[in-house]
Structures are given as structure tokens and as C-alpha cells.
Chain A
Amino acid sequence: AQSVTQPDIHITVSEGASLELRCNYSYGATPYLFWYVQSPGQGLQLLLKYFSGDTLVQGIKGFEAEFKRSQSSFNLRKPSVHWSDAAEYFCAVGPREVQNFVFGPGTRLSVLP
């Protein structure tokens, strides 16, 4: 069965600092990988996704993520964090079949002024 881990429950960074959120997955084949963001009181918004091809993917709001098959990782990065990036971030894995899209436990990002 597939699973997703996000080792960091809560990360605090200063505004303008760089950010990396970790995601590791367990899946038997190459999965579809996603990062979502949830602002307080809101639904989930897709930041970026990886299906195949270039392992460095660009997303919205200046985020990028790199798929590393050897490490079963899909870490999210941003070179300079803005105060509005404070939110909950979820990594997710979805198989090529339509069923069973699995989310990690989430990482809460706080941004210091």
C-alpha cells in the first residue's frame, strides 16, 4: 500500500529565507506526486505536480519540487519565503489508477517577520 511521510510537523522560517519541506513516499511503481497548500480556513490548492519527465517541476507562487527516485522523495522548495506562505503543506501520492489518493500528515509553516 502506498504511504507518504512528511518528517517535519512544524517549520518556522524568517521572511526572505529559503525553504525546503520534505516528503518521502512508499509506492511500488512510479507514482504521481503532488504538493498542496491549505491556508487557514480554506480548501486545498495545488502547488505543483509530477507525472513524468523532468524531475524538477515548477509550480505556482514561486515553488518548485524535485523528484528523486533513488530516495523516494519529492521535496518542496522556495528560494525566498513571503509572510503569505504561512500555511499547511501537504504532499500526496496518487497512482495511475483513479483510486486512492493518499496524503501525508502535513507540515505547518510559520513565517517570522
Chain B
Amino acid sequence: DTAVSQTPKYLVTQMGNDKSIKCEQNLGHDTMYWYKQDSKKFLKIMFSYNNKELIINETVPNRFSPKSPDKAHLNLHINSLELGDSAVYFCASRGLGAGELFFGEGSRLTVL
């Protein structure tokens, strides 16, 4: 049973398109995150939700919109994709009381 699962693993799309990445965790955690990893491997937090409520919203273009239908799911929708959006996007979750982050396997987005 995968603890944090993301789909799809790979996306290849044209500039200007819209795409979504889905994330689900079966750990019972209250907090979920989206991180972006660029080509230099730097990990940058984008969003965090705690029990479906947005608690961290870093400086991210408003083309990126997270949605949390329930505390086990956090999806990421990206409008009007740009070349600079090409990256690996990681979903993660963390339990109450601040344990470690559990990561999904990542979704590699390539914008052509």
C-alpha cells in the first residue's frame, strides 16, 4: 500500500495547456504539501493544507490552484502552462505533532 500516491507520474504538454496532478495519502495525516523541485534539485514549498484549510501559500503564480476535497487528498491544477513550469512536483503529508514528511514519488511535468 503506497502511503502517498501521485498521478500521473509523467506529464508532457504544450505551452498554454491546463493540467492537473492528483495526490492521495492513506496515513491519516492532517497536513499535506506541494513542493516544486527544479532542475538544480532545489525543493521549494508551494502550498500546504491542514485539514482542508490552506495554511501556506508561497509566492506562486495564481495559475497554480490547489484543491483539497478532503484531508486525504490534495490536487494541483495548473492553468496556461509555461516553459518555466517544467519541474518535478512532489506531494507530501505530515502528521499532527510535527513528525517527518512522507513524500510521493513525484510527478515530472515537461512543458514544450
Given contacts A88-B41, A98-B31, A100-B45, contact A46 B98 (CB under 8 A): no
Q: Does B43 lie within 8 Å of A90, measured CB to CB?
A: yes
The one of A32, A45, A105 that contacts B98, using a Cβ cutoff of 8 Å: A32
Q: Does A94 lie within 8 Å of B50, measured CB to CB?
A: no
Q: Does A67 belong to the interface (CB within 8 Å)? A: no
Contact residues of A between 22 and 77, Cβ < 8 Å to B: 32, 34, 36, 38, 42-46, 49
Q: Does A43 lie within 8 Å of B90, measured CB to CB?
A: yes
Which chain B residue has the least Cβ–Cβ distance from A31? B98
Given contacts A42-B105, A44-B90, contact A102 B45 (CB under 8 A): yes
Q: Does A99 lie within 8 Å of B48, measured CB to CB?
A: yes
Could you say which residues of chain A place their CB within 8 Å of the CB of B90?
A: 43-44
Q: Does A101 lie within 8 Å of B94, measured CB to CB?
A: yes
Q: Does B105 lie within 8 Å of A106, measured CB to CB?
A: no
The one of B56, B96, B103 that contacts A99, using a Cβ cutoff of 8 Å: B56
Interface of B: prevailing SS: strand
Q: Does B94 lie within 8 Å of A98, measured CB to CB?
A: yes
Q: Does B101 lie within 8 Å of A101, measured CB to CB?
A: yes
From residue B2, how far is it (CB to closest CB) to chain A in Å?
Answer: 10
Q: Does B103 lie within 8 Å of A44, measured CB to CB?
A: yes
Q: Does B82 belong to the interface (CB within 8 Å)? A: no
Q: List 29 A-B contacts (CB under 8 A).
A: A34-B101, A36-B103, A38-B41, A43-B104, A43-B105, A43-B106, A44-B90, A44-B103, A46-B100, A46-B101, A46-B102, A49-B100, A90-B43, A95-B98, A96-B98, A97-B98, A98-B31, A98-B98, A99-B50, A100-B48, A101-B94, A102-B45, A103-B42, A103-B43, A105-B42, A106-B41, A106-B42, A106-B43, A108-B41
Which B positions have Cβ atoms within 8 angstroms of A?
30-31, 33, 35, 40-43, 45, 48, 50, 55-56, 90, 92, 94, 96, 98-106
